[in-house]
A and B are shown apart, each in its own frame.
Chain A
């Protein structure tokens, strides 16, 4: 097992290099560049000042030199400095955005699993019942409604009309003066709407997935056997059927690992949340190469790691894979 993991880990290195090379090339092929934001359509910017800025950021070098420099820095885990005027280290910029994005994603994912699994199981067990039909309509409504629109409606209701919850941001203006409990409560109040909305949109996929898995499993012979043995229905469903139906969920969990750090741009924009989604979007729009590369590399690494975890999880859960 350990050898298997070690081999897989080593294999990620060439993969990561390959991914970074492709990302690097794609990014540089996109029209425009980091200095465009400040100098395009700017009467004060001359050809000379453009050349100066290009040299300043090392963009006057050939592409392979630029990539080589980047790779060299990455080897020492140095993400470099952002091309945005603040010139801050990319690692620092990403680090300060991670907690909020991670919190929202973990909470909303927890919410999704908490709601979707029971809903999916119940729908499968009582297939075609009123509950099944209502829950199907409900989760698909959540999937289909434009999030930004629903978000605005909820902001108007809970923020403006009722005044129960803050509309946007992640903390109140007097946050610093609050006690520890007050700070937690304040953060919590700010997170209610974003987490609810993020969860609502994700219910459909998970609950449908759970439902079809469950339907698949219920049809198996061993379930018929369990029933024939005269086991109570609850034991049949929860012990025999659900455990097996949950197996593929491990894959989903594994594949969700990179999502944990990827924020949604629309979501973060509408709720004014300074998370990873906005950071990446701004990075792309301003062609902040080191920042884009940093986020892409982390994303690629997490995806590979998630895949590995899923495989390992599978191997642990399923003896057939372990032996194979």
Chain B
């Protein structure tokens, strides 16, 4: 699961960590443990299992999920996504967008302090912005900030940015962690500053220690501006192996981790397990697809792509790869979010229909294989090595396609070679890959016909003038209704054109030791209200006082 989501990198805003707000409700499935008074109490520690080590705490210069998750405890952005994946203020109390959509005015929270006691002001935001566009900062996220035409900090609690034209994804880019100017000013390259190893932020937890390859420890920040978190200490342990991590969970060495589908379905259904743990399930923000190189002679024809969509047995994929823990994907958005269009054309598993479409396109069956102009329908699908789910997906698709007379060969290639030698050079027939679904629906980089150059992300070479226009429209207005209309139409066109066969959206499967209460699953997952999680006094395991 981690693997399939790990690839496309998200800005910190898209990692739904510690997105606090909305008071802690009743735990969904608590009460399975010993009967104790379920009263929030301060104290105890939570041990997280993490597959990878942190590579630094300044998210401007790191790109891996482990680092962004860890940094989420210490830092805040101006905005963040709430439990329903809508933008809300974090260090900004509120914001206004000028009528022409070009200017955003952020009103910052007052009285917020850095962990070293210095006050947080608009100077820090200005400093962060300047560092994001500074060529000496080795960041991959500078682009959004380069769109800013003018930035100003008229007073300590106001920050204003102006864009050359209205740019809707810009708002989310201000979820970038704000950096402390007073501590970083003297370092021209922030990645080489001590703060990248020993962060000082405004967040709910303060950094304690980082033992490379082993663990990172955070301690509660008692004067956190949204209220003191209940859990006193957060320890993130690096355990690179999923099976080991699961054994650690069972023996009490880890309190929270993400399960794999086999672990969720087969290894955690015992009464003994349920006595100590609560499992959760929510739609993950990612999907897996079969993408065609659209300039390939076979795949140029829309009917062929539609036929393959009908031949693919998505239900079998979900059952076989995810053990049923997922849903069919119909487009590039997350089911249940505002941009998701539930009414697009669907492609039920129908080999007969697939065959008919292929016959329409001129493919005739000969000895069980389709042939056109003397050429058999044979192609190679590429995917990256080490991703078990994608390898299984390829195997099932291979069988599905054989049923309609299409021969698909499978080749797995190491990630860097896969990207540089095949994707970037457009040397592939078809690929199985996945995308993260960011809360903002702007997918200009993936679908716009101008984004087909080397290293650009429209690697299938999709070009549709209407989609181009709609993508432009969708990103250049803040009007939610207008954006929704644009993205709904884009999904209809994508469903008809099938540049990708959208395969499935997996479920995220976190598991938490059930001494932790106050967990309320939402579209954003479970950790958005982490500061409201607590351990009832009677169940406390670690004697750590805040």
Whether the Cβ atoms of B253 and A167 lie closer than 8 Å is yes
Which residue from chain A places its CB closest to the CB of B197 in the assembled complex? A86
CB-contact partner of B55 in A50, A85, A155, A170, under 8 A: A85
B183 at interface, CB cutoff 8 A:
no
Whether the Cβ atoms of B419 and A168 lie closer than 8 Å is no
Selected interface stretch from B76-84, B111-119, B236-244, B502-510: B236-244
Which residue from chain B places its CB closest to the CB of A174 in the assembled complex? B542
Selected interface stretch from A30-38, A197-205, A225-233: A30-38
Q: Which residues of B contact A49 (CB under 8 A)?
A: 139-143
Selected interface stretch from B58-66, B283-291, B336-344: B58-66
A156 at interface, CB cutoff 8 A:
yes
B399 CB to closest chain A CB (Å) equals 28
Q: Which residues of B contact A33 (CB under 8 A)?
A: 416
The answer to whether A168 and B248 touch (CB under 8 A), given A44-B140, A52-B135, is yes
Whether the Cβ atoms of B241 and A44 lie closer than 8 Å is no
Q: Which residues of A contact B414 (CB under 8 A)?
A: 31
A208 at interface, CB cutoff 8 A:
no
B192 CB to closest chain A CB (Å) equals 5
A196 CB to closest chain B CB (Å) equals 16
Q: In chain A between 157 and 210, which residues have their CB closer than 8 angstroms to a CB of chain B?
A: 159-160, 163, 166-171, 173
Q: Which residues of B contact A130 (CB under 8 A)?
A: none
B393 at interface, CB cutoff 8 A:
no
Whether the Cβ atoms of A56 and B244 lie closer than 8 Å is no
Q: Which residues of A contact B247 (CB under 8 A)?
A: 152, 155-156, 159-160, 167-168
Distance A285 CA – B211 CA, assembled complex (angstroms): 21
B421 at interface, CB cutoff 8 A:
yes
Whether the Cβ atoms of B250 and A272 lie closer than 8 Å is no
B33 at interface, CB cutoff 8 A:
no
Whether the Cβ atoms of B420 and A38 lie closer than 8 Å is no
Selected interface stretch from B6-14, B87-95, B96-104, B401-409: B6-14
A198 CB to closest chain B CB (Å) equals 16
A130 CB to closest chain B CB (Å) equals 37
Q: Which residues of B contact A30 (CB under 8 A)?
A: 416-417
Q: Which residues of B contact A272 (CB under 8 A)?
A: 237-241, 244
Q: Which residues of A contact B244 (CB under 8 A)?
A: 152, 155, 167-168, 270-272
B191 at interface, CB cutoff 8 A:
yes
Render B445-456 as a binary contact track against A, CB cut-off 8 A, 1 for contact. Answer: 110000001010
Whether the Cβ atoms of A43 and B446 lie closer than 8 Å is yes
Q: In chain A between 253 and 272, which residues have their CB closer than 8 angstroms to a CB of chain B?
A: 269-272
A87 at interface, CB cutoff 8 A:
yes
Q: Which residues of B contact A168 (CB under 8 A)?
A: 239, 241, 244, 247-248, 253
Whether the Cβ atoms of A274 and B8 lie closer than 8 Å is no
Whether the Cβ atoms of A46 and B143 lie closer than 8 Å is yes
Which residue from chain A places its CB closest to the CB of B248 in the assembled complex? A167
Query: What's the tally of chain A residues with a CB closer than 8 Å to chain B?
Result: 56
Whether the Cβ atoms of A269 and B240 lie closer than 8 Å is yes
Q: Which residues of B contact A278 (CB under 8 A)?
A: 213, 240
Q: Which residues of B contact A287 (CB under 8 A)?
A: 416
B144 at interface, CB cutoff 8 A:
yes
CB-contact partner of A274 in B11, B61, B63, B214, under 8 A: B214
Whether the Cβ atoms of A85 and B416 lie closer than 8 Å is no
A308 at interface, CB cutoff 8 A:
no
B457 at interface, CB cutoff 8 A:
yes
Which residue from chain B places its CB closest to the CB of A166 in the assembled complex? B253
A215 CB to closest chain B CB (Å) equals 41
CB-contact partner of B141 in A44, A87, A167, A271, under 8 A: A44
Whether the Cβ atoms of B56 and A32 lie closer than 8 Å is no
Q: In chain B between 31 and 62, which residues have their CB closer than 8 angstroms to a CB of chain A?
A: 45, 47, 53, 55-56, 58, 61-62
CB-contact partner of B196 in A39, A45, A86, A155, under 8 A: A86
A163 CB to closest chain B CB (Å) equals 7
The answer to whether A167 and B251 touch (CB under 8 A), given A41-B9, A278-B213, is yes
Q: Which residues of B contact A285 (CB under 8 A)?
A: 415-416
Q: Which residues of B contact A242 (CB under 8 A)?
A: none
Whether the Cβ atoms of B241 and A43 lie closer than 8 Å is no
Whether the Cβ atoms of B251 and A159 lie closer than 8 Å is yes
Which residue from chain B places its CB closest to the CB of A151 in the assembled complex? B244
Seed contacts A43-B445, A160-B250, A270-B243; 8 additional CB < 8 Å A-B pairs: A32-B416, A48-B143, A50-B455, A56-B138, A84-B56, A85-B58, A173-B45, A173-B47
- 17 A-B residue pairings within 8 Å (CB atoms): A31-B417, A31-B420, A32-B419, A38-B63, A43-B443, A43-B445, A46-B143, A53-B138, A56-B136, A86-B197, A88-B197, A160-B247, A272-B238, A274-B211, A274-B212, A274-B214, A279-B213
Top 6 A-B pairs, shortest CB-CB distance: A274-B213, A32-B416, A38-B63, A43-B445, A31-B417, A85-B56
